[in-house]
Amino acid sequence: MDKTIQILIILGVGLIIWLVLRIIARKNKKLHIRFICNLLKSVDLIACAFAVLGMCVDLDKLAAPILTGGGLVLAILSFAAQKVLNNILSGISISLSRPFNLGDKIKVLSGSSIIAEGTVSDITLRHTVIMTYDGQACIVPNGTMNESLLINVSSDNRVGNFLEITVGYGDDLDLAIKILKDIVLSTENVLDCTTPLVSRFDADGPVIKTTVWTATVSDNFIACGSIRKRLIYEYRAQGITIPYKTITIDK
C-alpha cells in the first residue's frame, strides 16, 4: 500500500477517535469521564504524530544523536515539563477521588484566602475551569486544586453568600440590623438569610453580617446587588450612616 494512503488512513482514524472522545466529553458531566476523554484525546494525537513520523523518518537514527549529545537539552526539557506533569498527575488524582463534579458549586482555599469560588464548568489535563459568581472563567491549575482545601456546597439545593455592611458607632444598631433583615427577606429570589449579627469592629464602625440564600449563583449575585442599593437609600432615610474615609485639608 502506498505510504501516502497509509498516512491518510492513520490521520483519518485518529481524527475519528478524537471526535468521538470530544463528543463523549461534551455530553457527559461526570468529572472523571471528562478528564479521561481529554487524556485519551492527547494520547491519540501523540500516537498519530509518532505513527506518521515513524513512516517518514527512522526514529532510531533520529533519537541516537539526541540521546548522546543532547543531555543538556533533555535536562532543560524535563525541568520545564515538571509543572505540566504535576498538573496531569493532579488531574488524575482529582478524577479518581472525585471531590466535585462538573456543575458543582465549590470554594478553593489556600490558607485563609479564597483562590476561586463558583461553578465547575470543565477540567482539562492542565487546569480546572471555575465560573465565578460574576460570570468570569477562573482557570486554576490542577496542581493547585489538588493541594488546596476544597469546599463543595452543592449538597445544599441553594447558594449562600456573605453580605457585610459597616454602620457608624453612634447609630442605632438594633434598627440597622432590623432594616437589613427586612430588606434581605423582601428582595426578589431570596429564599432565606441568617440572623444579621455584628461580626467585628472596624475603624469606621461595627460591621453587620448576614448570609443571603438563593436558588442559583446568578440569582444570588443579582439579589445581593439589589440589597446593597436599597440599603443605601433606606439607611439614609432612617438617619443611619455608612461611614467612609475622608481627608480634610486645612487651608
pLDDT at 161: 82
Adjacent-strand bridge partners of 139: 129
C-alpha cell at 232: 443605601
Checking if the pLDDT of 43 tops 80, the result is yes
Q: Which of 162-166, 201-205, 213-217, 221-225 has the lowest mean pLDDT?
A: 213-217
Residue 215 located in a structural domain? yes
Per-residue pLDDT tens for 54-79?
777 665 555 555 555 555 555 666 66
pLDDT at 65: 58
Torsion sign over Cα 213, 218, 221, 223: negative
Residue 37 located in a structural domain? yes
Nearest in space to 148 (alpha carbons), one of 85, 89, 82, 94 = 94
Checking if the pLDDT of 40 tops 90, the result is no
Task: Choose one of 104, 131, 152: the last residue of a domain.
Answer: 152
Q: Average pLDDT, stretch 211-236?
A: 90
234 pLDDT band (50/70/90 cuts)? very high
Determine contact, residues 190/223, Cβ cutoff 8 Å. Answer: yes
Residues 147 and 181 placed together within one structural domain of the fold? no
C-alpha cell at 25: 466529553
In the chain, the amino acid numbered 247 is I
Block residue for cell numbers 459568581:
133
Measured between its terminal Cα atoms, the distance across the chain in Å is 94
Residue 94 is classified by DSSP as H
How far apart CA 146 and CA 159 sit, in angstroms, is 24
Per-residue pLDDT tens for 76-131?
666 667 778 888 888 888 888 888 888 888 888 887 788 888 888 888 888 999 98
Q: How many CB atoms lie within 10 A of CB 206?
A: 19
Torsion sign over Cα 235, 241, 247, 248: positive
Residue 171 located in a structural domain? yes
pTM: 0.58
Residues 69 and 114 placed together within one structural domain of the fold? no
How far apart CA 127 and CA 234 sit, in angstroms, is 44
The CATH number for 190's domain is 3.30.70.100
Residue 246 located in a structural domain? no
Distances (CA, A) of 241 to 76, 198, 244: 60, 15, 9
Determine contact, residues 45/14, Cβ cutoff 8 Å. Answer: yes
Residues 163 and 233 placed together within one structural domain of the fold? yes
Residue 53 located in a structural domain? yes
Residue 166 located in a structural domain? yes
Range of the domain at 12: 3-80
